[in-house]
Amino acid sequence: CGGGTQRPTRRVVSQPGPLGAACPVLVATRRCGTQPCPVDCEVSDWGEWTACTAVCGGGTRTRMRNVVTRPSNGGEPCPQENSVSSQCNSHSCDASSCSFSDWGEWGSCSRACGGGLKRRVRSVVGDRGSCMLDDATEEQRRQYLQCNSQKCPSTAAAPLKCSSKVDIAIIIDGSGGCAEAGF
């Protein structure tokens, strides 16, 4: 892809006689591979969380990543998730302090490839009467970690081909990255 040149050559097997025609050109140049190369989608790293929209009583915060390069010519598509929002400062404006358990294990990644998130949580311990789950901020109860940032394998190089009219292919995508627009 991207364009190249071929230079086929040939040699004279028999020289022309005095009345014969001159030998044709022995070296030629021709263009080849002129189709454009695939360009994969490229996204930026996740940005910082925005400030919470409320200091107490519940708000939201967001972080985003941008598409740096859009895919073209059959390149790898962009991930579906480019904005993540979470609740923050959901504690009551007159909340008392809360105690928390140790962090749990990290959960599985939200995507198999192309960048996802996994999370872990901890719960409130002690007197739940004075400390409701809503009293804890998102940062105190949940943590997120980026995962599976490697590119998704391309299917453009080896598309599925049926060998008869009764073949059936069932593909299950559990990554959460396949949306209605992808069909």
How would you classify residue 2: left for phi > 0, otherwise alpha for psi between -120 and 50, otherwise beta?
left
CA nearest neighbour of 56 among 138, 125, 141, 124: 138
**94-149 pLDDT, tens per residue?**
545 567 789 999 999 988 888 888 999 887 776 554 455 554 456 677 888 889 88
Could you tell me the pTM of the whole model? 0.39
Cβ 122 vs Cβ 107: under 8 Å: no
Question: Highest mean pLDDT: which of 59-63, 90-94, 112-116, 150-154?
Answer: 59-63
Q: Single out the residue of 43, 55, 152 nearest to residue 95, CA to CA.
A: 55
